[in-house]
Amino acid sequence: MSTSTHRHRPRKPAQDRPRGSRSGRRRTAASARPAARAATARRSVPHQLITVAALVAAAAITAAVLLPAMRHGRPPTQPAPPATAVVATIDGQPIPVREFALYLGQERAATFTHFRQKFGTSDGPHFWTTPHDGQTPASYLRERALADVTRATVELNLAHQDGLVADSGYGSFLHNWERENARRRNAVAAHQVIYGPVQYTESNYFTYVLNNLAAALRDRLTDTRAITTPDSALRSYFTAHRGDFPHQSFASAHEEVRQAYVLDRYRALIERLAGSAHVRMYHSVFDAVPVT
* Residue-wise pLDDT tens digits, 140-177: 999 999 999 999 999 999 999 999 999 999 999 999 99
128: which residues sit within 8 A by CB, 6+ positions away?
136, 137, 138, 141, 291, 292
The answer to whether residues 93 and 168 touch, using CB atoms and an 8 Å cutoff, is: yes
Q: Residue 77: what pLDDT?
A: 60
Please list, residue by residue across 177-209, b when 16 or more beta carbons sit within 10 angstroms of its beta carbon and e when fewer do.
beebbeebeeeeeeeeeeeeeeebebeebbeeb
Q: Residue 292: what pLDDT?
A: 83
* Residue-wise pLDDT tens digits, 264-282: 999 999 999 999 999 999 9
How far is it, in rounded angstroms, from Cα 7 to Cα 49?
A: 39
160: which residues sit within 8 A by CB, 6+ positions away?
166, 167, 168
How far is it, in rounded angstroms, from Cα 277 to Cα 172?
A: 22
Element (H, E) at 142: helix 137-161
How far is it, in rounded angstroms, from Cα 110 to Cα 131?
A: 17
pLDDT in tens, the chain (292 residues): 433 334 444 344 444 444 444 444 444 444 444 444 444 444 443 444 333 333 333 333 333 333 333 333 344 467 899 999 999 999 999 999 999 999 999 999 999 999 999 999 988 889 999 999 999 999 999 999 999 999 999 999 999 999 999 999 999 999 999 999 999 999 999 999 999 999 999 999 999 999 999 999 999 999 999 999 999 999 999 999 999 999 999 999 999 999 999 999 999 999 999 999 999 999 999 999 999 8
Contacts 24+ apart (CB under 8 A), 269-273: 269/221, 269/226, 269/227, 270/151, 270/154, 270/155, 270/158, 271/151, 273/154, 273/158
The answer to whether residues 228 and 237 touch, using CB atoms and an 8 Å cutoff, is: no
Strand, helix or coil for residue 191? coil
Strand, helix or coil for residue 132? strand
Q: Residue 115: what pLDDT?
A: 96
